[in-house]
Amino acid sequence: MARKVIIDCDPGIDDAIGLIMALFDPRLEVVAVTTCSGTVEADQACQNVSALLDKLDPPRLPRLGVGLDPDDAPVNDGRLLHGPDGLGNVGLVRPQRQHLMNSDKLIIDRLKADPEEVSILCMGPLTGVARAFQRDPSVIGLVDQLIILGGAPSGIGDVTAAAEFNMHFDPSSAALVIQSPTTKTLIPIDVTNQVTFDLNMLAQIPSKHSRVGELLHAMLPQLFRAYRQHRAQESIPLQGAVGVIYLTEPELFGCEAHALAIEELGTITRGATVVDRRPFATVSRELEVADRIENEAVRDAVYNSLKFAGQCTE
């Protein structure tokens, strides 16, 4: 039986690639895609997902939820790397969708429809999930597993010296979700950054003759250019794609339980992921943190997933 999953995201090219993989993987049933603010504002993120779904025409169409921007969102977003619209300005047609449900309400409804059977893969900031948990705390116990992409337990951030982007963007929501009594796994940038893709990727993804291939060949050059220009890197990480592989092949990762907290108030350390490794720590240890990854196997799994999606859209 396919694993039911809600994907909460702020696309973002890497989130778009993760969505492509998940939508066509027979091991997954994407029951909903909910959007949040981060790489772009929440409304733009919803438009991006809507355009992707329309372009890809997956075998099962998930429900779509639109998020709200957090009250104290920082000025910075992800457009520097992902382009003005978040998807490399590839010119996707954004269909008009009427009567979209709010992300938090859709998360609640899906969890209640299939209690303890739906996992949530959080690719972006945790605004929508936190609002769902606040709006109806009874659903916290209905989550099968919560997989969170983000954080930097090493203390080396990517948006500031101390913080990873998703945690920095909405630290209060991140803190609430991290502290919730759910089965949680954090996949931090310490791990996802170990799996990188260079320009050879363009020769290994599906051809432009498929809908998936056409989209990938249009989006990825923007990400390669941006990482080279703004981060002096010739290769790119794909956090969203790695998160999907964790859903389908968790044996390629190693995790340990940790006591962890998110700094909410610090000026320099806003969104910092603080791991309390003291043996007598009183912070909850109900969180698994990925600290090992089989790099080559995960990279191969990403390519295989994209090739399969390409075959489905030829």
Taken in order of first residue, the domains within the chain and their CATH numbers are 3-312 (3.90.245.10)
Write out the E strands in 105-232: 118-122, 143-149, 184-187, 196-197
The whole-number pLDDT of residue 78 equals 86
- Segment 240-257 mean pLDDT: 97
Q: What is the pLDDT of residues 76-98, one digit of tens each?
A: 778 889 989 999 988 887 777 66
The whole-number pLDDT of residue 258 equals 86
Q: How many angstroms separate the first and last alpha carbons of the chain?
A: 26
Tell me the one-letter amino acid at 191.
V
Q: CB count, 10 Å around CB of 20?
A: 28
Q: What is the pLDDT of residues 150-199, one digit of tens each?
A: 999 999 999 999 999 999 999 999 999 999 999 999 999 999 999 999 99
| Residue 115 token pair | 């209690």
Q: What is the pLDDT of residues 97-126, one digit of tens each?
A: 667 899 999 999 999 999 999 999 999 999
3-state secondary structure labels for all residues of 40-106: CCHHHHHHHHHHHHHHHCCCCCCEEEECCCCCCCCCCCCHHHHCCCCCCCCCCCCCCCCCCEEHHHH
